């Protein structure tokens, strides 16, 4: 039988959630994350990018993790193409978010290109948490709008502030980008597989840092995901094989017991009849 792909659950018949509650939740996420644009502005200016370049990045890229990865690689002296490649691969996750949200939100075709620019971690999380399509649309729109405006405003303020204070390394603000990136990443590591992948990626990145050009260890750290998945598959196959072997041994033992019992049942009466005949 042909394999079927499960379609997203559209819960239009679910109990309605008040729009005010959805807006409140969306604003909370948008404000909390949007303010971290200040750290990006400071980090970008400290890496050598100008004010215009920093603001254009936030306007056109608008995905915090990729932006931090890009300016972080540049600040470490990495090649611009290598830094851009690392940011690109990190941002590909948004394409998978889009596949899920396109069916859930079912937006008109005219607005889909604009909505695609707001497909990020936070808007996806808020939309998927809603009980109905209407609530998902409201949550996605309010989160995206709030985040986009605040992220770009605080990016501008951060870049201006970095230029005003001069050398950001002297103030220790060069650590703001990695700190914010880790703060955004940590809550997403909810399973053992995800934590193992993150840990291995850190080991690869730090271990290869002294021997590879700046920016390349970030790309090499991406090998952590297939490595962990391969190890997980081997462990699952080993567990399945052990279970199957145990079941076979148990079945064989049970069969032997039954056979022995049956043989004993036949031997007992037969022996007694032969004794009586003698």
| Percent of the chain residues past pLDDT 70, beyond the cut | 71
Provide the sign of the torsion angle of the four alpha carbons 125, 130, 136, 140, taken in this order: negative
User: Where do the H-state alpha helices sit in the chain?
Assistant: 19-34, 37-46, 51-60, 64-75, 80-91, 93-105, 112-116, 121-128, 133-165, 168-171, 176-185, 192-208, 216-220, 224-277
**Is the pLDDT reported for residue 214 higher than 90?**
no
pLDDT tier at 237, thresholds 50, 70, 90: confident
Mean of pLDDT over the chain: 78
Instruction: Record the tokens describing residue 251, joined without a space.
Output: 């079945």
Give the largest Cα separation in the chain, rounded: 117
- In this prediction the pTM is 0.62
Q: Is the pLDDT of residue 15 over 70?
A: no
Query: How far is CA 240 from each of CA 190, 197, 245, 248, 254, rounded to the nearest angstrom?
Result: 25, 23, 9, 12, 21
Q: Is the pLDDT of residue 4 over 50?
A: no
pLDDT at site 166: 65
Quote the pLDDT of residue 105.
94
For range 181-200, the mean pLDDT: 77
Provide the pLDDT for residue 10: 54
- The confidence score (pLDDT) of residue 249 equals 56
Q: Which two tokens stand for residue 146?
A: 């709030």
What average pLDDT score do residues 49-78 get?
A: 87
pLDDT at 185: 66
Q: How confident is the model at residue 275 (pLDDT cuts 50, 70, 90)?
A: very low
pLDDT at 148: 96
| Cα dihedral across residues 41, 44, 47, 50: positive or negative | negative
For residue 133, what are its two tokens? 């399509």
Q: Average pLDDT for residues 160-188, to the nearest whole number?
A: 64
Distance (Å, whole) CA 200 – CA 185: 15
27: exposed, middle or buried (Cβ count in 10 Å: 0-12, 13-18, 19+): middle
Least-confidence region, from 66-70, 214-218, 262-266: 262-266
With tokens 């002297």, the residue in question is 170
pLDDT of residue 234: 86
17-59 pLDDT, tens digit each: 788 999 998 998 888 888 888 888 988 888 888 899 999 999 9
What DSSP state is assigned to residue 212?
S
**Of 59-68, 134-143, 168-177, 266-275, where does the model show the most confidence?**
134-143
**pLDDT confidence band for 188 (50 / 70 / 90):** low
Q: How far apart are CA 128 and CA 10, in angstroms?
A: 10
Q: Please tell me which residue, 130 or 186, carries the higher pLDDT value.
A: 130
| pLDDT score of 123 more than 70 | yes
**pLDDT band, very low/low/confident/very high, at 115 (cuts 50, 70, 90):** very high
Would the pLDDT of 168 be above 60?
no
Phi, psi for 132 (deg, rounded to 5):
-145, 165
């Amino acid at each position: 039988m042909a394999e079927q792909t499960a379609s997203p659950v559209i819960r239009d018949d679910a109990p309605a959630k008040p729009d005010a509650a959805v807006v409140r939740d969306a604003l909370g996420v948008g404000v909390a994350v949007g303010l971290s644009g200040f750290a990006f502005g400071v980090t970008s200016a400290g890496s050598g990018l100008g004010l215009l370049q920093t603001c254009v990045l936030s306007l056109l890229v608008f995905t915090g993790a990729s932006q931090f990865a890009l300016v972080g690689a540049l600040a470490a002296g990495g090649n611009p193409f290598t830094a851009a490649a690392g940011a690109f691969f990190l941002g590909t996750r948004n394409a998978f978010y889009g596949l899920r949200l396109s069916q859930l939100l079912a937006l008109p075709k005219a607005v889909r290109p604009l909505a695609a620019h707001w497909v990020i971690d936070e808007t996806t999380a808020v939309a998927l948490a809603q009980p109905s399509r209407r609530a998902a649309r409201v949550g996605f729109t309010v989160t995206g709008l709030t985040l986009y405006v605040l992220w770009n405003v605080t990016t501008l303020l951060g870049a201006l502030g970095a230029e005003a204070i001069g050398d950001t390394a002297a103030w220790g603000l060069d650590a703001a980008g990695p700190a914010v990136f880790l703060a955004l990443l940590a809550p997403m590591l909810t399973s053992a597989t995800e934590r193992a992948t993150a840990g291995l990626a850190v080991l690869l990145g730090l271990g290869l840092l002294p021997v590879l050009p700046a920016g390349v260890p970030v790309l090499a750290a991406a090998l952590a995901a297939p490595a962990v998945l391969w190890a997980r598959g081997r462990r699952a196959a080993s567990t399945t094989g052990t279970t199957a072997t145990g079941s076979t041994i148990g079945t064989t033992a049970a069969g032997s017991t039954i056979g022995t019992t049956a043989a004993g049942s036949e031997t007992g009466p037969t022996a007694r009849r032969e004794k009586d005949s003698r």
